[in-house]
Amino acid sequence: MAAARETAGLSQKNLAKRLGVKAKTVAAWENDVSEPRANRLQMLAGLLNVSLMWLLNGEGDGVAPPGEEAPLSKDARAILLEMRELKGDICDTANRLARLEKHLKRILEGGPA
């Protein structure tokens, strides 16, 4: 995960901020002290531009092994970073929408709001 974060040009602090967690939480994930919850995994995959499978077991679309990375221009890096931010925003919006749908369902079923 640290390699993917570094490839994305993000510090632990920046990644944590985008995920809505503390930097020490990201450090714990990278050091295999703890694991991200399911809702954070999808956001993490989007921000790091890797597949969910790669995050879970190292297989699939992920970070190229050392020495195989293609050099990127400054413009390409900026575009990739913006795309990753948008993916994170989309994940945040999808999570918010899911919470609202669940809340609406409870209201419509006569449950507590």
The predicted structure's pLDDT at residue 18 = 87
* pLDDT value at 107 more than 80: yes
Mean pLDDT of 1-7: 85
Tell me: the pLDDT tens digits for 42-65? Answer: 888 888 888 888 888 776 666 655
The predicted structure's pLDDT at residue 63 = 67
Distance in angstroms (rounded) separating the CA atoms of residues 16 and 26: 6
Alpha helix stretches (DSSP H) within 49-73: 52-57
Distance in angstroms (rounded) separating the CA atoms of residues 77 and 55: 21
Q: Are 35 and 25 in contact (CB under 8 A)?
A: no
- Average predicted confidence (pLDDT) for the chain: 82
The predicted structure's pLDDT at residue 61 = 62
CATH code for the structural domain at 2-108: 1.10.260.40
Mean pLDDT of 76-89: 80
Radius of gyration of the chain (CA): 16
Mean pLDDT of 86-110: 85
Tell me: the pLDDT tens digits for 11-51? Answer: 899 899 888 899 999 999 999 899 888 888 888 888 888 88
* pLDDT band per the 50, 70, 90 thresholds, residue 113: low
